[in-house]
Amino acid sequence: MKTTGQPQLMNNPKTKLKPETDKERNMKSKIFFILWGMSLLLAGGVFLAGDNLGGEAQGAAFLFLCALIFTGFVLWSQKNWWAIIPAGVFASLGLVVVLVSLIPREDYPRLPNTLSWGVYTWVLFLGFAATFGVLWLLRKSQPTGWAIYPAFGLLTLAVATFILGSHFQEVWLVTMLSVTVGTLILAMLTRKRLPASQQAPHLKS
């Protein structure tokens, strides 16, 4: 019997998924109903409060509600890893809104007709970096190894924004372009150094 050099992916036991047990299905159902119950309570509370809540409080509640909904998709199944991105984005925006309302600070001075960056911009970038960092931690079970590059770039932006302070308002475009180009170069260099065993196999037709 002849053997070929083609990888036997179908016969590999590691590629076979284990069937989901009743206990796991019940746990997912409980998590699903708890999260959606919390979402409904939060939405109802914001609706009933009405004018008693300020615009910033309502905005933060809406953002956290969206983050909670997407988090439910992730907890329901890790195959929904993509939902971590909108969940992290909404949560980061909500955190910035909360900080602005609880610890108000004077905005950075800016020139007319230019993009304005707030005092807590570094918190926003840090939240985005943490979002992709969580994705990267799932790389062993999900195809999210690429997330290390946006996580590194956004973390660099968070540090640069925090250090530059009000001066970031003047050099934000140069800073973002430099970080983006540097991250792309790092991604290309590290991908070229991957050993052959970690590269995707090429199947012969």
Residues 136-159 have a mean pLDDT of: 92
Residues 120-134 have a mean pLDDT of: 93
Place of tokens 């430099």: 178
Lowest mean pLDDT among 49-63, 123-137, 140-154: 49-63
What percent of the chain has pLDDT above 90? 21
Over residues 49-86, the pLDDT tens digits come to 555 555 677 778 888 888 988 888 888 887 889 999 99
For residue 119, give the 3-state DSSP assignment.
Answer: coil
* Residue-range domain boundaries for the chain: 25-105+117-193
| Residue 125 reports pLDDT greater than 80 | yes
Cα–Cα nearest to 43, from 74, 70, 68: 68
Question: Contact, 130 vs 150, CB < 8 A?
Answer: no
**pTM to 2 decimals?**
0.69
The average confidence (pLDDT) of the chain is: 74
Over residues 78-119, the pLDDT tens digits come to 788 999 999 999 999 999 988 888 877 666 555 555 556 777
Question: Between 171 and 150, where is the model more confident?
Answer: 150
